[in-house]
Amino acid sequence: MTQIEIRNLHKTFKADAVLNGLSLSVDRGEIVTLFGPSGTGKTVLLRLLAGIYPPDAGTILLRGRDASGSPPDKRGIGMAFQNFALFPHMTARNNIASALTARKTNAGEIARKVEAVAQLLKIGHVLGHSPRELSNGQKQRTALARALVADPDILLLDDPLRNVDAKLRYEMRLELPALLKRVGSTVLYVTQDFKEAMALGDRVAVLLDGRIAQCDTPARIYAEPVNVGVARLFGDPTLNLIEVAPQLVDGAPEIRLGGMRIRLPASYAVAAGGLYLLGLRPEALRLVEAPGPRTVAVELVAVTPLNEKSVLLLTMQGGEELLASEAGDRDEPRRTGPAHVAFDLDALLLFERESGRRFIPSGNGEVAHERIAITSHR
Amino acid sequence: MERSSIIERVLRAVLLTLIVIFFLFPIVWILLMSFQTNEQILRIPPSLSFVPTLENYKALISGHLLTSAGSLDIAFMRNLGNSVLLSTCAVVLALILGVPAAYAFARFKFWLSEDIAFTLLSFRFAPPLLVLLPLSLYFQDLGLVDTYVGLIWVYQLIALPLILWIVRGYFEDISPDIENAYRIAGHSWLRTFFKIAVPLAGPGIAAAGLLSFIFCWNNFVFALVLASADKQPVTVGALAFVTASGIQYGQVAAAIVLSVTPTLLLALYAQRWLVEGLSLGAVKG
């Protein structure tokens, strides 16, 4: 059942169109992470949902009912703010309880619920403290507890891990999915960190240019981004983009890359004659000893070890740069100098240069076949 | 290194002492004068040695002024009471009107909001005397001359803009998200105003209230023109000490000491509310 439905939402601040016909629907109990570069209106969208700002145009349906005109206190939403927004003149206990006092719950019931949620978030021992006596992590948990305590069926979390230190962020990233599933609310979770978006979301909604560019499972967003903009947002380091012009040679599509001709699967034949951007994920590039049919001669310029992986900077003949990454557990360090790089054609992404849309090859059987061929070559 | 810092410290202490003496001298002098008779004050050369007398205070509190030319009734205690009544009522009224208005100007951008706010501030620019002549004519028509209500109303010219503009700044400093969070927790905007906005702007409201109280207390010209003897505050009442037989310096000094005391006590009391930094730690910067 659809719990949140947003149709064609518009919001403009001064002359700046932040949301431009955004539509999104979230099912009951689903966790959708809202991801996009800063300034794309993620926070604005949450505020529109919470009723803090009115939309310029468009409809918001909460639990199937039109929410326009209903004030924030009547929407039955739990929300955690990026800057915590704790009430400085109240103790942590009263901060959390504030979500219950409005509902005319009796004092014993309030105390019991506050204790329970504090236990869950491990802040039971600081309930008597005022916000200024809390550490950032405790503040963040208090803000989260305040959003959770009334068991709202819709939960809006605005980058709650943004302002906490790295260690706590990892801890919370591990705890949060279980916690959110346990609460059972429908969750919209805003984040600027693609790893967080992929780790926490049942689906990831990518916000670009005031609309949802793509809303899909993390795996599909990564493997099948709708356009180059979405592809660029996921991955560290980000994917390599090289301009290519596929041509038909002897009836088979080919691209020229670093002075080498690389044959593409037959399903790419339609792309011949157009201008495209070739997207290569760094982890889909492998350095190999000897040249082969799908390798390109490169120069290994630099190696950046990042503990669990190493990032390699390569240059091709034309001077174009490529980033590759590989597991960081090699016994001997790589030496810079000439090398060959092989491509995993299965992970190849091709985008139309003008529109940025991903090129979808026709007939997937061909791709599978080609992959087998490469494996046998190895 | 050590020597220069000692010199620095001594120099700083000397300079600070000089400044304190410079600013406190008139007050100390008046305090001393209030315990002297007119003859002691006016003797030449002036001397710091005298036998303190409480005559001035007695005269003020009993309301009988004995001069060389005879006895005179003065209403100083009544004036003091008027001052307390007028200033307190004016500030309370200005707070009731000004704090919600300041909140509206801080939070909502409505049509002409900036112009209205500026117009209210401009009341402070106008020379009082310019306003007084037409005002006294209108007050005569309305029957407000020589009434407490009329004076309290006119005092809004002093208190309201001050409160409005100081408190507005404090409201603007509160992160709107703190109020939004309280709204989302299920509370009405009225509750949010009283439970979140007003407590958080508390130090500002206290400061503005104190400041406007002092300005009202010190006002002279409005009460001089618009009130008769039994409604006049101390500032106007002090004119009574300019008598036919000369100025009663001792009583003037005692009157000043007495009339400064309430504001001084209020300031000392309000100091605890003026503590800043209440909102520290609420929002991650």
Residue A98 to residue B200, Cβ atoms within 8 A: no
DSSP, collapsed to helix, strand or coil, labels residue B246 as strand
Cβ pair B132, B225 in contact under 8 A: yes
Output the CA–CA distances (angstroms, integers) from residue A163 to B56, B158, B278, B283, in the order listed.
66, 45, 21, 10
User: Do A164 and A87 fall into the same domain?
Assistant: yes
Indicate the residue of B177, B182, B284 with minimum beta-carbon distance to A98. Answer: B182
Residue A72 to residue B283, Cβ atoms within 8 A: no
Under 8 Å CB pairs connecting chains A and B tally to 89
Q: Within an 8 Å CB–CB cutoff, is residue B170 touching chain A?
A: no
User: Do A176 and A263 fall into the same domain?
Assistant: no
Boundary of a domain, candidates A226, A259, A294: A226
Residue B282 to residue A50, Cβ atoms within 8 A: no
Look at residue A44 and tell me if it is in a domain.
yes
- Predicted pLDDT of residue A328: 77
Domain borders along chain B are: 2-73, 76-274
User: Do A192 and A75 fall into the same domain?
Assistant: yes
Residue B182 to residue A87, Cβ atoms within 8 A: yes
Q: Within an 8 Å CB–CB cutoff, is residue B276 touching chain A?
A: no
Look at residue A233 and tell me if it is in a domain.
no
Distance to chain A for B281, nearest Cα, Å: 4
Residue B189 to residue A71, Cβ atoms within 8 A: yes
Tens of pLDDT, residue by residue over B213-248, are 989 998 888 888 888 778 888 888 878 777 777 788
User: Do A192 and A248 fall into the same domain?
Assistant: no
Annotate A296-345 with DSSP letters as a single string.
EEEEEEEEEEETTEEEEEEEETTS-EEEEEEES--SSPPPPEEEEEEE-G
Indicate the residue of A79, A84, A98 with minimum beta-carbon distance to B284. Answer: A84
- Mutation site, A82, A84, A113, interface B, largest B CB count within 10 A: A84
User: Do A83 and A130 fall into the same domain?
Assistant: yes
User: Do A257 and A217 fall into the same domain?
Assistant: no
User: Do A194 and A297 fall into the same domain?
Assistant: no
User: Do A222 and A245 fall into the same domain?
Assistant: no
Tokens of B144: 């407000």
- Mutation site, A44, A49, A73, interface B, largest B CB count within 10 A: A73
Tens place of pLDDT for every residue, chain A, 378 residues?
889 999 999 999 888 888 988 999 999 999 999 999 888 889 999 999 999 999 999 999 999 889 888 899 989 899 999 888 999 989 999 999 998 988 777 888 999 999 998 988 888 899 999 998 998 888 988 999 999 898 899 999 998 888 778 887 888 888 888 888 888 899 999 998 898 899 889 999 999 988 999 999 999 999 899 999 999 999 888 889 988 888 888 888 888 887 788 888 888 888 888 899 999 898 888 888 888 777 888 888 888 888 788 889 998 888 888 898 888 777 777 888 888 888 877 778 889 888 888 988 875 544 444 433 333 333
- Mutation site, B107, B180, B184, interface A, largest A CB count within 10 A: B184
ipTM reported for the complex, 2 dp: 0.81
Domain that residue A52 falls in:
2-226
pLDDT band of residue B59 (cuts 50, 70, 90) is confident
Tens of pLDDT, residue by residue over B61-97, are 887 776 666 677 778 888 889 999 999 999 999 999 9
User: Do A251 and A167 fall into the same domain?
Assistant: no
Beta strand pairing call for A337-343 and A349-352 = unpaired
Q: Within an 8 Å CB–CB cutoff, is residue B190 touching chain A?
A: no
Rounded distance between C-alpha atoms, residue A236 and residue A283, angstroms: 10
Residue A86 to residue B186, Cβ atoms within 8 A: no
**List of chain A residues whose C-beta atoms are within 8 Å of the C-beta of residue B187:** 73, 98, 101-102
What CATH number matches the domain at B76-274, 3.30.70.60, 1.10.3720.10, 1.10.940.10, 2.40.50.100? 1.10.3720.10
User: Do A11 and A144 fall into the same domain?
Assistant: yes
**Residue B16 CB: number of other CB atoms within 10 A?**
10
Tens of pLDDT, residue by residue over B186-209, are 999 999 999 999 998 888 898 889
- Rg of chain A taking only CA atoms, in angstroms: 25
CATH code at position A114 = 3.40.50.300
DSSP, collapsed to helix, strand or coil, labels residue A280 as strand
Q: How many domains does chain A have?
A: 2
Indicate the residue of A72, A131, A136 with minimum beta-carbon distance to B183. Answer: A72
User: Do A176 and A60 fall into the same domain?
Assistant: yes
Mean pLDDT of chain B: 84
Whether pLDDT at B277 is above 60: no
User: Do A51 and A102 fall into the same domain?
Assistant: yes
